[in-house]
Every structure is written in C-alpha cells, then in structure tokens.
Amino acid sequence: MEDQPKTVVITGASSGFGEGAVKCFADQGYRVWGTMRDTAGRNAAKKAALEAHSPGISILEMDVAHDDSVAAGFARILAAGPVDILINNAGIMYLGLTEAFSVAQAHEQMNTNYYGVIRTTQAVLPAMRKAGRGLIINCSSLVGRISPPFFGTYTATKHALEGYSQALRYEVAKFGIDVAIVQPGPFGTGLLGSGKPPAHSEVLASYGELAGVPAAMGANFAQMLQSEGAPDPQWVVDAYLKLAEMPDGERPVRTVVGIAWGVDEMNRLTQPIQDKILHEMQLNGVLGGVST
C-alpha cells in the first residue's frame, strides 16, 4: 500500500507567501488545507482558483484572530485526518509613528500575528503529541530580532512570536515535534499596503515633518519591491518546503530569507547563548531530544 501524502495546513492563503505555498506544496504531492477569511465574499474567486489548481487543495474559512473560527476550521480539518505540518503564515502589519497607534490597533496586530499562532498551534499539538511527530513552521520577520523605526507595534508582535516559538521548540521536541522559524526580509507581497494608518491624528500633528516619513518610506519600499531584481516571494515558499522536507533533527531554529540586515549573523551569535539556558537551568535531561 502506498504511503499517504502528508497533510499541511497553511494560514493566510489568500495572497503572498501563503497563496504561493498552497500551490507549491500541492504540486509536490502534499494534501493541502489553505485557510483565509471571507471565502464566500471578497476571497471567493481566490478560493475557487486555488482549489482548481489541484485536487489536493481545500480552502477553508478561518480567521485566526477568533477562537470559534479556528476551532471550527480545525474540527473539519482533523475530522478528515491528522495534520503533519502547520505553517503559520497569516499576518498583518501597520506602518507609522509608534506613539500614534492606539492600543486597539496594537491588539489587532497582536491578535493575528501572535495570539493567532497560539490558537492554531494549540489546535494541532494534542494530535501531534499523540502521534509522536509533527512540524510547525512560524513565519516571523527580520523585525522579530531587530526594531527599526515606524514598525514598533508590528515588531512587538514578531518579537513575541519569536519568544513563543523558541520556548515551544524546546518543550515539544521530546514528543518528536519540531518548531522552526522563518524570518523573511522585505518582499513585495502587498503586506505594506494592507495596514491601517495610526488612529491618533493629534499625535501625528505634533511630530511635524517626521509624521510624513513612514508613508513616504512605505511608498519607496513598495516601488523597490516591485522592481526588476527585487527579492522574489517564491524564496520564502521554497524555504517553507525545504524545512518541511528536511529530516527530523536537522532543521535550523531560524531561517532568514532575502535581505538579511545582519539578522543571520545575529542568529548565529545568539543561538548558542540561548541554548546555554538549558544547561544553566539543568533542563538538558528533562527536555531530551531537543535540536538546537
């Protein structure tokens, strides 16, 4: 009897890395569940196009920012069979003066980029632990390690995701489950254009000319990322697939893709310090099997 294809769930499948990953994994023979919002409305045509791409693709309504939506989506997915790989790809980003974003706007980003990952991860981990295998790939960012100006509220979500992913990797390794982080640099995926302006207009006014810098910078970035020779979003998709097909125990904790801004060097220097914590806390034996 032939081996069953591995099942992968990819969030944020309506565009960018997620859309490309759904197609790529299906082309490689995986059973793919892509998730997105508003599959009966604005994304209906996208759902139809992706499902027409391959019989191995199913597109499911899911908003990772809501408990009930994630629970309902994964109830359907898990009823069809176990999940081998979860790719937490969904994300939103607001660009602007950090002080001018409201708490509600900061929460919107955190709810999708960080709490959303917790929701989907908790949906698959019980079955993965029972099976003794699984892979979770979390899409972070260069700004999960560095903090450039004007990305403050977004950067905070990715720093949170990095911390969560690193700790989780240690804790679930003993169950045969791997957690890997992908850190894309700037790519022309439309993420920059999907954000909201800062809510506190009175704060913007008090910054004078500086208030106009984020929008101008965003426009320049968008133009650069659509130009010839710009980083190709397919590189991130390829990184997802490479991690998925690596043997267990050989996956790096973090993978930088595209423009690095020194984050690859930061990862190389800091990971040994991070892993030393296991020794300092006398946890090496307790967390046996962890790959660093």
The set of residues, in sequence order, having a beta carbon less than 8 Å from that of 165 and lying 6+ positions away, is 117, 138, 140, 179, 181
Active-site residue, selected from the candidate residues 58, 69, 140, 165: 140
Q: Look up 154 and say whether it is catalytic.
A: yes
3-state secondary structure of 56: coil
Which stretch of DSSP H or E encloses residue 87? strand 85-88
Q: Look up 47 and say whether it is catalytic.
A: no
How far is 234 from 255, CA to CA, in rounded Å?
Answer: 15
Active-site residue, selected from the candidate residues 30, 114, 115, 154: 154
| Residue given tokens 């019980």 in the structure block | 126
Contact 98, 154 (CB under 8 A): no
Active-site residue, selected from the candidate residues 6, 14, 23, 58: 14
Q: Look up 158 and say whether it is catalytic.
A: yes
3-state secondary structure of 289: coil
Active-site residue, selected from the candidate residues 23, 58, 158, 165: 158
How far is 18 from 128, CA to CA, in rounded Å?
Answer: 22
How far is 40 from 42, CA to CA, in rounded Å?
Answer: 7
Parallel, antiparallel or unpaired: strands 85-88 and 134-139: parallel
Tokens encoding 191: 């993420």
Q: Look up 46 and say whether it is catalytic.
A: no
Catalytic residues: 14, 140, 154, 158
